[in-house]
Chains A and B, each alone.
Chain A
Amino acid sequence: MNAIEAVGLGKRYYRRGGQRATTLLETLTGFGRARREEFWCLREANFAIPAGRTVGVIGPNGSGKSSLLGLAAGTITPTEGHVRTQGRISSLLELGAGFHPELSGRENVYLNAALLGIPREDVKKKFDQIVDFADLREFIDMPVKHYSSGMYVRLGFSIAVEVDPDILLIDEVLAVGDIAFQLKCLDRIRQFQRRGKTILFVSHALQTVEEFCHEAFLIHGGRLVERGEPSEVILKYIRRYMGEGGGLFTQEFGTRAVEFGNVRLLNAAGEETGIFETGGALTIEIPYVAHRRIEKPVFGFSLKTGNGMYIYGSNTQIQQVAVPPLEGAGVVRLDFAPLRLMHGNYFLSLSIHSWDHAEQFHRREDWWPFGVRNTGEDLGLFKLDARWHCP
């Protein structure tokens, strides 16, 4: 049975004039109409999500992810095609969307639940759970206008998940509250999965999508361009739209007295690839061209996860590697063997600067994305040298 089914789904908006509220005068005179220009924020989306699946929707900003969620939730009416959902939907498109600032937390719980279509009796039974999950017992009778933003979203999240929906729609809201609450949220999401609920969730946190989802949708320019195994879709996404040539999230600095050439990522066999194996080898081949003689240059690198978490960084100065003066073209190699990174997607940054850090010659930030696959059964982000000693 499919929980969510979309056929030829499309949504058209008008840029300028058309969609914003016009004045009566504009309509009567026809003035302003000519400027309207249509654009499709989503078009020809066809998919079926079977009940019990968790699907992550990824893609650049403005690609149509949130529109897809809005269409599934029913807040946006499709221009063409249709979307069908089976079961009760709880949407976390915006936490605490229905909250009224003057009302107390308690009153807002009932109001919000009524918006989600939950009978008052059910809310009464779950009221304590909701308040405990949000950890707001002392503040529940206070008007929510006095809540901190963290308290606000905690209560919103708590209501949305405690009302026991069949389908949960989440729009980039898992990163709310403090770390403790975030962990509680993720834990609750796992519980939902175990109980066979369907989750459709939009996120830029690629690592989270990879970790939680059975399937990933890649949306770009309003089209569902890729779907399948999360790690593969994510890799396609970061290789196609981020990193070298993709122009998303990458940054480049420097005086260019020395410039990087065509950097290649090689595996143990010396082949250029985008996917490496945990415990295998990763060699980065860094060709450079120096436009003047550089004494005592420093080469550096850093690695980040798909979520942007900084994992490791070092340079030839810290590692006390003697680099000969640069003159003309040459190649530097950086080896990771064995590669200790675990399953996931990563970004490599490289830089060349002067010994005293006074001059940045060339720096490419988050320029080279790559994936790592772990064939073992151990889990986590980083492979540690763990040894057991038994009697």
Chain B
Amino acid sequence: MKLLPTIWNRRELLWNLAVRELKQRYRGSVLGFLWTLLTPLFMAVIYLFFLRLLAGRGVPMEEIIIGVFAWQFTVQCTQAGTTCVLGSANLVKKVAFPLEILPLSQVLANTISYLLSLVVQFPLLMFLLSRSNQHLAMTWPIFFLWVAWQTLFNLGLTSFVGALNVFYRDTQHLVGLALSAWFFLSPVMYNMEFALNLAAQWPLAADLLYANPMTVILNGYRAALLPESAAAYPPAAWIGLLLVPVMFILGVVVYRRRQHLFADML
């Protein structure tokens, strides 16, 4: 069974499930979609404040905002991934449909949510930049190439944890821990300048930081939008860049190899 034609044939189902996901997320809450904006904005303020307090050194607000919104995209996909098959046990057991749709619809829903949040993020960035008489960098369209790259990465990750969690329920707990650790190991609330200053004595630490796919993606976002930010590509960064398709292929292959057993395990 070819993957792409199958998904294309069932695009209505994919869309329906993604819409269902978004609807149920906001139904019954007064602020609804606003939460998608309020949560990262609030986090950005907290990070900014504590970083100044603890490290005594600041990171521009614009960089933190870009980092937090993008980080939230991956976190939400991954967390949705752990439940994407388990939470649809009834569907998997009782209805025949291409199971690849499950992680795909979660990623689609979160991508839509992320893109919608940009409607606020971009004006906010423009406002923050305007205070120092700056504008968004002319390279801003490249931002969307990075969105595509991150989406690919998220899809691999979501499929991987989704399949794994069917067989080992430990996955959901490990994912929670891993995400907390990963957050501090990625330049979300700090930027590269901040991290490289700290890592000056340990060159290996800098290499490891660059080999993190999220580092490459976040740097890419910032370089695309902010006039004073530029992404560096030491050899280790290419590893981080290439880990994206590796994660995508690994996730999708593992998921598809194992999906015939899902109904038996649920």
Interface of A with B (CB < 8 Å)? 13, 19-25, 27, 70, 73-77, 89, 91, 93-94, 97-98, 100, 102-103, 107, 110-111, 114-117, 119-120
Instruction: A121 to B10: give the CA distance in the assembly, Å.
Output: 14
Would A111 and B20 count as touching, CB distance under 8 A? yes
Given known A75-B95, A111-B16, contact A23–B168 (CB-CB < 8 A): yes
Q: In the complex, which residue of chain B has the Cβ closest to the Cβ of A97?
A: B94
CB-based contact A116/B12 at 8 Å = no
CB distance from A373 to the nearest CB of B (A): 38
Which of A98, A110, A117 has the most B CB atoms < 10 Å from its CB? Answer: A98
Question: B13 to chain A: which residues have CB within 8 Å?
Answer: 114-115, 117
Q: What is the interface of chain B, defined by CB distance below 8 A to chain A?
A: 10, 12-13, 15-17, 20, 23-24, 27-28, 90-97, 166-170, 260-261, 263-265
If A24-B168, A115-B13 touch, whether A75 touches B260 (CB-CB below 8 Å) is no
Contacts of A111 in B (CB 8 A): 16-17, 20
The docked-state distance in angstroms from the alpha carbon of A73 to that of B12 is 20
Q: Is the CB of A91 within 8 A of B23?
A: no
Question: How many A-B contacts are there with CB distance less than 8 Å?
Answer: 85
Are A115 and B23 CB-contacts (below 8 A) given A22-B167, A27-B168, A98-B91?
A: no
Residue in A closest to B23 when the chains form the complex, CB atoms: A103
Query: Distance in Å from the Cβ of B202 to the closest Cβ of chain A?
Result: 31
Asked whether, in the complex, the Cβ of B16 is within 8 Å of the Cβ of A114, the reply is yes
From B20, B28, B91, B263, contact of A77 by CB (8 A): B263
Q: How far is the CA of A25 from the CA of B171 in the complex (A)?
A: 12
CA–CA, A75 to B92, complex, Å?
7
Whether A24 lies near B170 (C-beta < 8 A) is: yes
Instruction: Name 4 extra pairs, CB < 8 A, besides A21-B167, A22-B168, A75-B95.
Output: A73-B95, A75-B94, A77-B264, A97-B93
- B24: which A residues are within 8 A, CB to CB? 100, 102-103
**Smallest beta-carbon distance A142→chain B, Å:** 13
B177 to chain A, nearest CB (A): 13
B97 and A117 form a contact (CB under 8 A): yes
Which residues of A have CB within 8 Å of B263?
70, 75-77
